[in-house]
Structure 1
Amino acid sequence: MSAAPAESEAEPGRIARVRAEVTQFLIAGGLAYAVDVAVFNLCLYLGLDSVVSKVISSVPATIVAYVGNRYWTYRHRERTGVTREYTMFFVFSAIAAGIQASCVFVSNNLLGYTSTLADNISGNIVGMALGTLFRFWAFRTFVFKHKRSEASATTEPAMSNAGGTS
């Protein structure tokens, strides 16, 4: 019974940390979003296909997002190797870019909306919202991992045997 008060006292701190992480993630992402939208519209202006433009614009945006997330949002998280982090970050970012490009594809080819406004709504609003949800989950779950404290590492096995077999 003594564990319950300690857990409830720790909960406000955990909520504050997650809130700060979400805020920093959104700010770093906002900067990357600005780069994405600017490059996307430049590509459209230059006459490139809208799906190709969305794929191209995701590259510099992903670089900006990586720097912002690694060195600001998740700076307190364990460093698991630049190569591993960078590779996983770009794999998950590519999946998210695919989500965005898919939204443009559906808008253009299945719904028949081919204007610049429709491309921006499908790629930079709908696609970005879906991609952002995916990125936040993937980055905090797989890319920028939490350090396991020794206390939690030693208590978890004991807790798993709580109802255990003797």
Structure 2
Amino acid sequence: MTKTSAHRRPSLLQRLRGVSGEVVKFAIVGLVGIVVNFGVSNAVLHATGWAPVRCSVIGTIVAIAANYVGYRYWVYRDSDAASRRREITLFLIFSGIGMLIENGTVWFSTYTLALTGPVAYNASKMVGTGLGTLFRFFSYRTWVFKAMPELAEHESPAVVAQAERILVDDRSQLAKH
């Protein structure tokens, strides 16, 4: 029995190429989130004098909101949005875990290592942000923003034609409203 190209598993290099655009977009949204996170948390820290972990959590929450918009409407805009409630719930759960990872490093450096001051604060926040970002990337792409199922190459033309008719009908219904 010969293997056809439709049944052959893509090589590691092909899979990495396929994910590289996603990684770049994820990184851009993430960099915007980092700027928001560090900007807000440092502003709150210096303006209020509150505890470093509290300020860091506030910055992280604002960045999570900004990142959701970027991920949903740019990075993963083609993902299945059939269950938005499920998506948001999972996003918040995994973002919360990422926030614990990130702010756990701030807590550890501040209260266990007794490292204080702006440099120690931002260094611990940077380490935590890196660890939290790795966790978020894999959890978002695996469980939150699932790709829409593709029609297999071997699907019958009748199935494809029916799917196209449904899309046209949906678009015309939207145009009427």
Above 0.5 in TM-score?
yes
Q: 1-side partners of 2:6 and 2:144: how far apart?
A: 32
Asked whether 1:136 is paired with 2:137, we answer yes
Q: Which residue of 2 aligns with 1:127?
A: 128
- Identity rate, percent: 36
- How far is the alpha carbon of 1:32 from its aligned partner? 0.9
- How far is the alpha carbon of 1:82 from its aligned partner? 2.0
Relative to structure 1, the CA distance from residue 74 to residue 5 in structure 2 (aligned partners, 3 Å threshold; closer, same or farther) is: closer
Which of the numbers 78, 81, 89 marks the counterpart of 1:79?
A: 81
Relative to structure 1, the CA distance from residue 142 to residue 59 in structure 2 (aligned partners, 3 Å threshold; closer, same or farther) is: same
* 1:3-152 alignment, distance < 5 Å: 3=4, 7=8, 14-46=15-47, 47-123=49-125, 125-151=126-152
Structure with max Cα Rg: 2
Q: C-alpha root-mean-square deviation of aligned residues, in Å?
A: 2.3
Q: Which residue of 2 aligns with 1:2?
A: 3
Q: Which residue of 2 aligns with 1:158?
A: none
For 1:15-63, what per-residue CA distance to the aligned partner results, in whole angstroms no more than 9, with x for missing partners? 3320000000000111111100000101110211100011111111001
Counterpart residue type for residue 96 of structure 2: A
Q: Which residue of 2 aligns with 1:164?
A: none
Question: Secondary structure of the equivalent of 1:95?
Answer: helix
- How far is the alpha carbon of 1:103 from its aligned partner? 0.1
For 1:78-104, what per-residue CA distance to the aligned partner results, in whole angstroms no more than 9, with x for missing partners? 113222211211111111111111001
- How far is the alpha carbon of 1:116 from its aligned partner? 1.4
Q: Give structure 2 stretches of 5+ with no counterpart.
A: 156-177
Question: Secondary structure of the equivalent of 1:93?
Answer: helix
Q: Which residue of 1 aligns with 2:172?
A: none
Q: 2-side partners of 1:148 and 1:10: how far apart?
A: 20
Q: Give structure 1 stretches of 5+ with no counterpart.
A: 155-166
Q: TM-score under structure 2 normalisation? A: 0.77
Counterpart residue type for residue 83 of structure 2: G
- How far is the alpha carbon of 1:11 from its aligned partner? 6.3
